[in-house]
Amino acid sequence: MFLHKISGLAEHFIYLNDDSFVLHNVSKSAFFELDGLPINNYHFKQLKKDKNSLGVLYPIYKKSFQLAMRAAGATFYRNRKTALVPCHHPKPMLKSVCKKLWCRIPDQIRESLTPFRSEKSVSNYMFCNYMLLTGQTHDREIRSALTLNAENFFGQDFISINDVN
C-alpha cells in the first residue's frame, strides 16, 4: 500500500509479487505503451460465482474494487456483479496514480491496513483497478505462464506460481 512512498521510486515502476518471475530480458514495451500508460491484464469476474474458489481473497478483491470505484467516482462497471481482478502478473504502475488514490480515500485505505489478511484488507489490485476505471492503463494480455510445466514457458515473458487464473 505504500509503494509510492519509496524514496527514489520512478514514476513508471513494476510491482511483482514474491511468486512472480521474469523469464528473460523483457523490453519496456511489455509493460508500458508508447503513451506512457501501463499495460495490465484483467479478468472480468462475477466474484460471487468465484467466492468459494477465492476463499479469503474474495472479500479483499471485492473491497479493493469497491474502493477503487468510489475513488474513481464510478457508480457501476459493466454490471453490478462484475469486479475487476487483474491477472496475477507483474503490475506496471504509475507512482502519481498511487498517490492520487491515497489522496482520494486515505481513511478507507488506512483502516484496511492489517498485519494479516482479513475482511478489512485490500489488495494492491485496488491501484490497478483505479488506473483502469480512470483511463490510466491499457487492458492487454501479458504473455505469462501460470504453471511450472516446461511446455508452458515457450513464448512467455513471465511465470506466476500459486495461481489458478
| pLDDT 10s digits, 56-112 | 777 888 888 889 989 998 876 665 555 666 667 788 999 999 999 999 999 999 998
- C-alpha 159/C-alpha 165 separation (Å) is 12
Which amino acid is present at 96?
S
Q: Any bridge partners for residue 91, and if so which?
A: 15
Distance, CA of 80 to chain centre: 20
pLDDT exceeds 60 at position 15? yes
pLDDT exceeds 80 at position 39? yes
Residue 80 confidence (pLDDT): 56
Mean pLDDT of 22-26: 79
Residue 165 confidence (pLDDT): 45
Query: Torsions phi, psi of 117, nearest 5?
Result: -60, 135
Of 11-15, 55-59, 137-141, 153-157, where does mean pLDDT reach its minimum? 153-157
Q: Any bridge partners for residue 44, and if so which?
A: 84
Mean pLDDT of 13-26: 83
- C-alpha 142/C-alpha 55 separation (Å) is 25
Residue 88 confidence (pLDDT): 72
- Residue boundaries of the structural domains of the chain: 3-16+30-142
Neighbours of 42 (CB within 10 A): 18
Residue 116 confidence (pLDDT): 87
pLDDT exceeds 60 at position 150? no
Number of H helices, E strands in the chain: 5, 9
Question: 83 near 47, Cβ under 8 Å?
Answer: yes
Percentage of the chain exceeding pLDDT 90: 27
Phi-psi region of 8 (alpha: psi -120 to 50; beta: other; left: phi over 0): left
| Summary mean pLDDT of the chain | 80
Residue 78 confidence (pLDDT): 60
